[in-house]
Chains A and B, each alone.
Chain A
């Protein structure tokens, strides 16, 4: 059968087509089968998989060992020069589900994704405080989760602990 041929590297020959299709389907099936290994089930097309919501409450552990509650995800601290300074999680994180505290928010891509991302976000922020915060050693977040069916649960997520020398 005559097929007009304008040569292109994307016009694969019969054998290359078989190899390409086998590789493509193999990768796609593997990604779908291993969805549970990734917290947000990325690359596996689990559409609308959950409708979990959560309320985050921030506390911070100071170098004195005190656990201090922080309303709205913000806190006053002292800089290296002794000046008082206000920080907010929203100064560091732009994802609303990780930076809005004390208000119910949708857990984007579900419970496991929210907790994994929150842990990474807290580690990120604690690592960037530097000389602008000489009092915070660790963040502790109380997460109150509610599934779409109404089941409630509570999880505490902690950042890594920071030392003043190593940051």
Chain B
């Protein structure tokens, strides 16, 4: 058991794809910081309006402190995209983002929390060797790196599926389909605007459609949590998960949560299930 754990924590592999994930994440970090600034320019700084801090109010930043922090987060988002000081920028963006969530729980949304958790974990991956500093491919001598933090990120998505699917499973109203059908009543028009056929949206709004959709969502989330870690089903589960999130994104408003999940599912699709035995000698690096 100890040897198996040691093998998992010592796993190494090709880090080429991690750079692409970092680049996309940097874009989302930049976008979120920009959104915060835009919101404040319309409504004013949250600290001087109604807010519900989890931290003591004395720790909520002053307007100048907040503006400085957001400027730093915008800069760090850009640095993550281009791959300069990317790992420290990811880490600090994650810390700063979670700090701001703790300053005002009114700003809490699952997708924002997930974004900052992901930034923290990606900081511990060798994600700055490819798609960085104008270079697409990692140099041959840097192509192989540790994957433990990537496995932890995959485990984080699994935990999200279990928490989400489990809470729905134990909620009778949710299992009945009432929650989803009602949500479709409210957001169905945006799904139609995005090209989902009217007849499908009408069916999903019905009690039968809602019930089927609810049971399907619970089975999908809990099923993905298992199938993503099985060697035989991993790749299929990753693609099914991507389809699942695209469907959610088309039919309901969840901002960037679907895209963050798809980034992690891309890693599931790309990297073989950890064997629990020491990493085999990797293939020779492919020079472009």
Contact = CB atoms under 8 A, between A and B. Distances in A.
Interface of A: 1-4, 6, 8, 10-12, 14, 17-18, 20-21, 24-25, 28-29, 32, 35, 40-51, 92-95, 98, 106, 109, 117, 120-121, 124-125, 147-150
A95 B152 contact: no
Contact of A148 (B110, B142, B181): B181
B141 A46 contact: no
A81 to B, nearest CB: 25
A25 B155 contact: yes
B50 A124 contact: yes
A20 B141 CA distance: 27
Given A32-B159, A92-B50, 15 more contacts: A4-B142, A10-B124, A20-B124, A43-B113, A45-B110, A45-B114, A46-B163, A47-B110, A48-B179, A49-B167, A49-B168, A51-B183, A95-B106, A147-B173, A147-B178
A149 B91 CA distance: 42
A64 B179 CA distance: 44
Interface residues of B, number: 56
Nearest to B174: A49
Contact of B108 (A8, A14, A42, A149): A42
Interface string B245-288: 00000001010010000000000000000000001011000000
B164 interface: yes
Nearest to A151: B173
A46 B167 contact: yes
B10 interface: yes
Contacts of B230: none
Interface on chain A toward B: helix, strand, loop, or mixed SS? Answer: loop
A148 B180 CA distance: 8
Contacts of B198: none
A120 B186 contact: no
Contacts of A2: 144
Contacts of B171: 49
B66 interface: no
Contacts of A150: 178
A11 B126 contact: yes
19 contacts: A1-B279, A2-B144, A14-B6, A17-B148, A18-B9, A32-B159, A42-B108, A43-B113, A45-B159, A48-B180, A50-B179, A51-B178, A92-B49, A120-B50, A121-B50, A124-B50, A147-B178, A149-B178, A149-B179
Contact of B9 (A17, A28, A35, A41): A17
Contacts of B22: none
B234 interface: no
From A1, A48, A49, A125, residue with most partner B Cβ within 10 Å: A48
A52 to B, nearest CB: 9
A91 B10 CA distance: 57
A10 B123 contact: yes
Contact of B144 (A4, A29, A50, A93): A4
B173 A11 contact: no
Which one of A11, A41, A47, A50 has the greatest number of beta carbons of chain B within 10 Å?
Answer: A47
B27 to A, nearest CB: 21
Interface in B153-204: 155-156, 159-160, 163-164, 167-168, 171, 173-174, 176, 178-183, 186
Nearest to A98: B50
Given A94-B43, A148-B173, A3 B12 contact: yes
Q: Which 4 A-B pairs have the closest CB atoms?
A: A149-B178, A148-B182, A51-B182, A4-B142
A67 to B, nearest CB: 24
Contacts of A98: 50
Nearest to B151: A21
